[in-house]
Amino acid sequence: MSKTPTTPKRRTRSANSSDKAKAPPTDPVTAYAQSVVDGVRIAGPHVRAACARHLRDLECGPARGLKWDSDAANKALRFFEKVLKLNGGDFEGKPFVLLPWQQFVIGSLHGWKGADGWRRFRVAYIETAKGSGKSPLSAGIGLHGMVADNEARAEVYAAATKKDQAMILFRDAVAMVDQSPELAKRLTKSGTGERCWNLAYLQAGSFFRPVSSDDGQSGPRPHIALIDEFHEHKTNTVVEMMRAGTKSRRQALIFIITNSGSNKQSPCWHYHEYGAKVAAGTLEDDALFTFICALDEKDDPFADESCWVKANPSLQDADLPGMKYLREQVTEARGMPSKEAIVRRLNFCQWTEAESPWLSADVWKSVKLEFDWRNLRGRRAWGGLDLSSTTDLTGLVFLVEPERSGEPWLLVPFCWLPDEGLQKKADNDKVPYVAWKAKGFLETTPGRAISKRVVLQRLTALAEFFDIQKIAYDRWRIEDLIALASDEGISLPPMEPFGQGYKEISPAIEEFERMLLNGELAHADHPVLNWNASNAVTVQDDAENRKLSKEKATGRIDLIVAAVMAVGLMAREPVAEESFWE
């Protein structure tokens, strides 16, 4: 049973509180950092490192020209509480009282000064779980930069790859202005309601507006650039577009907020990795601030709620309705492998191998079974064949019937690649094809292209080894194999076409899942099959039918496609009715 986190609730002074109650600390930023380093406040590894960095810079930073200005930090904090109002739900119209982790972020960005006396941090990378409040925090930084940063003609942008995405953050800022009497009477809006496209502070000649890389706009000179949902950015175009324009600004800030992502080739992952090293002191970059939420390696958010605050620090100081939502998400993900990765990524800051991988790593590992397929001679088997193009992976998987009732069905995979250029393909796919070949997990065919003759010969030999009932195949490219068998005078085992669309593959996916979750399916830890399983992603239509998507997968999935077809083919077999006497 999951533990309930013993997180302190936000406390407010009652009317009977003593006048001698302790005053808030004069330096809440340093107080937060010290409490994290001392272990009083729960935090993940990269936040602990960021806090240790702050304390380290207080001691060693002056030698590099760095100065900590707690008054400047507190002034920025007061702007949020005295001027800004929140919006939406229970927070509508309430003062923006910063939580301790938010105080650490805002205070650090405005309190640390460089040798030139201007803002030290020019880029901030903030990675927290969904629902932690990073979007209103970002909008507040933009509004502060426009009206309270003493920057003439400040340009503030909510920037994204697409205009619609940029508008999400900008609308947060507009709603905050509408809720704040102080801002509403000083700022001028262009457009009304959802169509507002610009906030102007005419007194200083400053503005705040959305912008995207597809606008084709050139020459922005941002004082503050706010970049939302960075994990969705396929390139670094937006960041570089904004950074290029900051060269004429003395204290410009690029403020990046994001959930954790699934693509470790993305610019977001590069910032994650680089930022973690800077926080830890492995690399030195005095212009970069990071607040990267993450769990420790030993943490399992599905088993213990006490680690949730490491991903969502707001849970530690606020009684949020999101706790109920999180528990519901975890409960659903435990029974739905396809949902687990999304929940781990969005809610617990765990980078996943795919956007929405179909198979849970834990469930897949749980059905690993040590067996040698060469001991299965004569068993009934159903097969799935996924023929590749000339240079891609070809997969053949057999589903072998158990010998006794109660034992699992066994998956037995075979796969091929062309021998020529194998190392180059291994480098491109970032997997050890050469080592897999040496250990017998991967077969190769001579030349640059897959030899269907070699595949046919292997299939013929396996037909003599197993009692093959049928083999399912994707209609694509099968004609060449059938024609080759005819030319060679080879009798193929019974073959049946298996469509890859929603109608045919969805029932097979459901049966595969059912068998997997019930322990009715097992595999022998074949590394190529394991890799394909981790890459598999499903998509669904409006009727919630699903199919495997090679386009959205993070790598090759040919063996899993073949395995699903084999299971689907077996599931089509009519069940023999028992007689009354049986």
pLDDT digits (tens, 9 = 90+) for 449-464: 889 899 999 999 999 9
Look at residue 355 in the predicted model and tell me its pLDDT: 57
Beta strand 394-400 with 380-386: parallel, antiparallel or unpaired? antiparallel
**Amino acid (1-letter code) at residue 144:** H
pTM, rounded to two decimals: 0.65
Residues 152, 88: contact at Cβ < 8 Å?
A: no
Pair 423, 517 in one domain: yes
Residue 580 lies in a domain: no
pLDDT digits (tens, 9 = 90+) for 120-145: 999 999 999 998 999 999 999 999 99
Residue 342 lies in a domain: no
Residues 137, 131: contact at Cβ < 8 Å?
A: no
Pair 271, 160 in one domain: yes
Number of Cβ atoms within 10 Å of the Cβ of 187: 24
Q: Dump the DSSP string for 198-259.
A: EEEETTTTEEEEEEEGGGT------SEEEE--GGG-SSSHHHHHHHHGGGG-SS-EEEEEE-
Pair 138, 230 in one domain: yes
CA 360, CA 463: separation in Å to the nearest integer?
32
Residue 20 lies in a domain: no
CA 162, CA 228: separation in Å to the nearest integer?
11
Low-confidence stretches of the chain (pLDDT < 50) are 1-24, 579-582
Residue 324 lies in a domain: no
**Amino acid (1-letter code) at residue 31:** A
Pair 546, 405 in one domain: yes
Look at residue 219 in the predicted model and tell me its pLDDT: 67
Dihedrals φ, ψ of 86, to 5°? Answer: -85, 170
Pair 389, 286 in one domain: no
CA 301, CA 362: separation in Å to the nearest integer?
13
Token code pair at residue 193? 């309601």
- The residue with tokens 């009652």 is 14
**Amino acid (1-letter code) at residue 571:** A
Asked whether the CA dihedral 64, 69, 70, 74 is positive or negative, the reply is negative
Tally of CA atoms within 13 A in the half-sphere of 265 that contains its CB = 8
Asked whether the CA dihedral 72, 74, 78, 79 is positive or negative, the reply is positive
Pair 402, 276 in one domain: no
Residues 247, 278: contact at Cβ < 8 Å?
A: no
Residues 99, 313: contact at Cβ < 8 Å?
A: yes
CA 93, CA 87: separation in Å to the nearest integer?
6
Question: Count of domains in the chain?
Answer: 2
CB-count burial class (<10 Å; 0-12, 13-18, 19+) for 369: middle
Look at residue 17 in the predicted model and tell me its pLDDT: 33
The CATH number for 50's domain is 3.40.50.300
pLDDT digits (tens, 9 = 90+) for 428-443: 888 999 999 999 999 9
275, 299, 323 - which closes a domain? 299
Look at residue 209 in the predicted model and tell me its pLDDT: 94
The CATH number for 379's domain is 3.30.420.240
Contacts of 412 (CB under 8 A, 6+ apart): 373, 376, 381, 397, 398, 400, 524
Residue 22 lies in a domain: no
Look at residue 15 in the predicted model and tell me its pLDDT: 33
Vertex 304, ends 300 and 307: CA angle to 5°?
75
Look at residue 581 in the predicted model and tell me its pLDDT: 47
3-state class of 380 per DSSP?
strand
Pair 91, 237 in one domain: yes
Residues 100, 41: contact at Cβ < 8 Å?
A: yes
CA 398, CA 379: separation in Å to the nearest integer?
11
First-to-last C-alpha distance (Å) of the chain? 43
Pair 271, 375 in one domain: no
CA 461, CA 90: separation in Å to the nearest integer?
68
Number of Cβ atoms within 10 Å of the Cβ of 86: 22
Residues 266, 256: contact at Cβ < 8 Å?
A: no
Residue 15 lies in a domain: no
CA 289, CA 433: separation in Å to the nearest integer?
40
280, 299, 318 - which closes a domain? 299
Contacts of 330 (CB under 8 A, 6+ apart): 2, 301, 302, 343
Pair 271, 416 in one domain: no
Pair 70, 174 in one domain: yes
Dihedrals φ, ψ of 263, to 5°? Answer: -110, 105
246, 274, 299 - which closes a domain? 299
Residues 114, 65: contact at Cβ < 8 Å?
A: yes
Number of Cβ atoms within 10 Å of the Cβ of 427: 11
Look at residue 477 in the predicted model and tell me its pLDDT: 73
Residues 107, 237: contact at Cβ < 8 Å?
A: no
Token code pair at residue 102? 């938010």
Residues 312, 132: contact at Cβ < 8 Å?
A: yes
Residue 354 lies in a domain: no
Pair 185, 265 in one domain: yes
Residues 338, 358: contact at Cβ < 8 Å?
A: yes
CA nearest neighbour of 209 among 156, 148, 256, 252:
156
Residue 311 lies in a domain: no
CA 12, CA 52: separation in Å to the nearest integer?
29
Pair 294, 374 in one domain: no
CA 551, CA 555: separation in Å to the nearest integer?
9
Per the structure, the complete domain to which residue 209 belongs is given by 35-299
Number of Cβ atoms within 10 Å of the Cβ of 299: 18
3-state helix, strand, coil in the chain (%, to 5): 45, 15, 40
Residues in the chain: 582
The H or E element containing residue 269 is: helix 267-280
3-state class of 328 per DSSP?
helix
